[in-house]
Amino acid sequence: MLEIKNLHVKLEEEDKQILKGVDLTVEAGKVHAIMGPNGSGKSTLSYVLSGRDGYEVTEGSVDLNGEDLLEMEPEERAAAGMFLAFQYPVEIPGVGNMTFLRTAVNAQRKARGEEEMSAADFLKEIRAKAKSLKIDADMLKRPVNVGFSGGEKKRNEILQMAMLEPKLCILDETDSGLDVDAMKLVAEGVNALRDQGRGFLVITHYQRLLDHIKPDVVHIMADGKIVKTGGPELALEVENNGYSDILAEVN
Amino acid sequence: MAVPEVKQSATEARLATLTMPDAGCTRAAREDALARVLETGLPGRRDEYWKYTRPDTLITSDAMPAAVLKDDEPPIFDKLDRLKIVFVDGVFSPNDSDDLSLEGVSIDRLEDICCKDIHWAKELYGVLEARGQVPVQRPLAALNTAFASDGVAIHVTGKPSKPINLIYRHASPTSDAILHHVVRVESGAEATILETGPAASRFNKCMEIDVADNGTLHHVRAQGRDHERRAATHMFTRLGQESVYKSFTLTVNGVLTRNEQIVELTGDDAVAHVAGACVGDGDFHHDDTVFVTHDAVNCESRQVFKKVLRNGATGVFQGKILVKAGAQKTDGYQISQSLLLDDDSQFLAKPELEIYADDVACSHGSTSGAIDETALFYLRSRGVPTKDATNMLTLAFLAEAVDEIEDGSLAEAIVNRLEGWLARRS
């Protein structure tokens, strides 16, 4: 599904190499987790995949279902099935949450040549999905993320993911700023979306989230590269011993 | 002080083209107004109050020609039930207008008042305009009082069931119109006045509004889209105790617009909200000049102005809150913001507070900025194309001003216009 080959990325504004040859393949139906210390390039990877400005790919390639992802605009990536749950969801005053989501759903459908969703169908679906994430009607009506608590913002990201039904979901430190209950709720939302056709890339500092979203594969990233790949037990190793042992072993 | 020679000759040249109508009971007010014009002269480029807007084309002898827009949109409030009063190039058109009788309000043409010796409007015509000449002179308003050729007097005594819509059609590419309206809202009465359309190639409009204790007036205006039209408008409003005045103006195009709002809160617990949203392109120049005077206790005033500018358009905001001694517990708020869609456009703002009372809450803010790139990326990452995302953020920026309109169906009509403007340009 997602195939990253030898990806090198530097900051556009300064001569600073962040990613130094990332190789990663996420298969449909699998959950891959990326862990790593601060500054290892995890978030940069998620930004580059979603098409954010300010980064320059100097080498390598990224394919999503056989298409060259790096050639696409952010909205084309979304229509092709990419979704990034932001570490810091953006507040947009003046744009209603519901209006925003409906515009997004229909823009993606239009881009794919599908029929737009009717207002009634949309309402029915969003209500059901919001309910399971404990998002009330008031939150749907309010401007996007404005005045939302940290937990509400993250739940709102998952709601968007549920409505947009992407093929590849990237979760960028979705656990940051969440208490245990909120994390469980978010994890349940993610787990409900797991199926054979969908791939996940979960970026996190801590093993805690992975107790709730069980990964198939765990990667350790350091200094712009994936330095070790293993099963769920790798996450536990990090939790118990920190990154230093692994990094020492690799070096 | 003598009027500078350049100004004097410009003023004389303009006055030479105008004739005072047969004025009846408004004659004294008109002659006083003419004296004010002669005393100060018409606005000139060196006047501080016209620092950001060149008045030249507003005072030339003849109006600059302005092409009549072949309108591709249905009239803005078309779907709403309203009483229509139509002026074509500044002349009342009985055939296009509705019957002027409506329960709770009486409406007379200025022409009919002028042939009477006694009429309630005599107590108001030119009165608030004259009050509004201090501390800042507004000679275009005085010129209007002296020479207005048409207009209506609206006397609100109850709660009319529908809004009164003054519709200004533009038919001749060289028309030059001067209209003067007076509005009196009696105690406990409530009405909505709508103003729509470009009016003329050059339009000078003055409206004097006197709201008695506990009266309420809503005013929603959509200025016409004709690209080359010019307009200078004044709204003078005096508010009694516990009265309410809420005014919103939408401006979409027009090469030059100067809208002045002069509001006096003279009764305790009165409320005045003036708001505006404008969107402009190219040689568009739009000026909102607001002067709110608090002269009573516990009054609230809000000024909310938002401008979206692109391709070299210019937006101006001069807003003042004056709190007189004794106007304690004043709550004054003022915000003016512009969204500059490119580097060529500019926004010039002069927010002012002048406060002589010690127990007041007044705030003002003014910002200029581009589209929020982070928000734009967020929308795009969810699949919304750049163009649509930019339009969503532009409408969101204007929302705070549009939200000042209380009536949902009027607000919706305004939003539709804004969407139309955005759609034509993307």
Calculate how close chain A gets to B381, using CA atoms only, in Å: 5
> A88: which residues sit within 8 A by CB, 6+ positions away?
none
Interface predicted TM-score (ipTM): 0.95
- B79 touches B412 (CB < 8 A): no
What gap in Å lies between CA B234 and CA B216, rounded to an integer?
19
Q: If you average pLDDT over residues B60-68, what whole number do you get? A: 93
Examine the pLDDT at B223 and tell me if it is beyond 80.
yes
Q: Choose the mutation target among B384, B387, B397, B426 for the interface with A, i.e. most A CBs under 10 Å.
A: B384
Report residue B1's pLDDT band, with 50, 70 and 90 as the boundaries: low
A143 touches chain B (CB under 8 A): yes
Residue A246 burial (10 A CB sphere; 0-12, 13-18, 19+):
buried
Among A227-236, B211-220, B368-377, whose mean pLDDT is lowest? A227-236
- In chain B, what residues touch A89 (CB-CB under 8 Å)? 378
Which of A91, A93, A164 minimises the CB distance to B382? A164
- A195 touches A29 (CB < 8 A): yes
- In chain B, what residues touch A143 (CB-CB under 8 Å)? 396
Boundaries of domain holding B269: 5-425
What gap in Å lies between CA A84 and CA B380, rounded to an integer?
11
Q: If you search the block for the tokens 């580097």, which residue do you land on?
A: B343
**Are the beta carbons of B383 and A100 separated by less than 8 Å?**
no
Residue B2 tokens read as 């003598």
Which residue type does A6 have?
A: N
- B262 touches B291 (CB < 8 A): yes
pTM for the model: 0.91
Kind of pairing between the strands at A67-68 and A82-85: unpaired
Examine the pLDDT at B221 and tell me if it is beyond 80.
yes
- In chain B, what residues touch A141 (CB-CB under 8 Å)? none
Calculate how close chain A gets to B385, using CA atoms only, in Å: 6
What gap in Å lies between CA B178 and CA B333, rounded to an integer?
32
- A143 touches A97 (CB < 8 A): yes
pLDDT tens digits for range B105-143:
999 998 888 777 788 999 999 999 999 999 999 999 999
Closest residue in A to B403 (Cα–Cα): A94
Examine the pLDDT at B426 and tell me if it is beyond 70.
no
Kind of pairing between the strands at A143-144 and A82-85: unpaired
Length of chain B: 426
Kind of pairing between the strands at A31-35 and A82-85: unpaired
Q: If you average pLDDT over residues B361-377, what whole number do you get? A: 95
Query: Which long-range contacts does B129-133 make (Cβ < 8 Å, 24+ apart)?
Result: B129/B33, B129/B206, B129/B208, B129/B234, B129/B236, B130/B29, B130/B32, B130/B33, B130/B36, B131/B236, B131/B238, B131/B264, B132/B234, B132/B236, B132/B262, B132/B264, B132/B291, B133/B36
**Are the beta carbons of A90 and B399 separated by less than 8 Å?**
no
What gap in Å lies between CA B5 and CA B347, rounded to an integer?
32
Residue B325 burial (10 A CB sphere; 0-12, 13-18, 19+):
exposed
Query: Number of C-alpha atoms within 13 angstroms, CB side, residue B170?
Result: 30
Q: What are phi and psi of A51, to 5 degrees?
A: 95, 25
Q: If you search the block for the tokens 């009717």, which residue do you land on?
A: A118
- In chain A, what residues touch B388 (CB-CB under 8 Å)? 103, 107
**Are the beta carbons of B381 and A84 separated by less than 8 Å?**
yes
Q: If you search the block for the tokens 């093993």, which residue do you land on?
A: A207
What gap in Å lies between CA B279 and CA B309, rounded to an integer?
6
Q: If you average pLDDT over residues B29-53, what whole number do you get? A: 95
Residue B393 tokens read as 């953020």
- In chain A, what residues touch B399 (CB-CB under 8 Å)? 93-94
What gap in Å lies between CA A159 and CA A147, rounded to an integer?
17
Interhelix angle A180-193/A150-164, rounded to 10 degrees, is 0
> B386: which residues sit within 8 A by CB, 6+ positions away?
A73, A75, B376, B380
Q: If you average pLDDT over residues B392-414, what whole number do you get? A: 96
Which residue type does B46 have?
A: R
Q: Torsion angle of alpha carbons B82, B88, B89, B92, nearest 10°?
A: -80
Q: What are phi and psi of B4, to 5 degrees?
A: -55, 150
pLDDT value for B425: 78
pLDDT value for B24: 79
Query: Number of C-alpha atoms within 13 angstroms, CB side, residue B178?
Result: 19
pLDDT value for B302: 98
What gap in Å lies between CA A124 and CA A136, rounded to an integer?
14
Examine the pLDDT at B72 and tell me if it is beyond 80.
no
Q: If you average pLDDT over residues B315-323, what whole number do you get? A: 98
pLDDT tens digits for range A137-182:
889 999 999 999 888 999 999 999 999 999 999 999 988 888 888 8
The number of distinct structural domains making up chain B is: 1
What gap in Å lies between CA A195 and CA A31, rounded to an integer?
10
pLDDT value for A247: 82
Q: pLDDT under 50 in chain A at which residues? A: none
Among A226-240, B25-39, B46-60, B347-361, whose mean pLDDT is lowest? A226-240
Kind of pairing between the strands at A199-204 and A55-64: unpaired
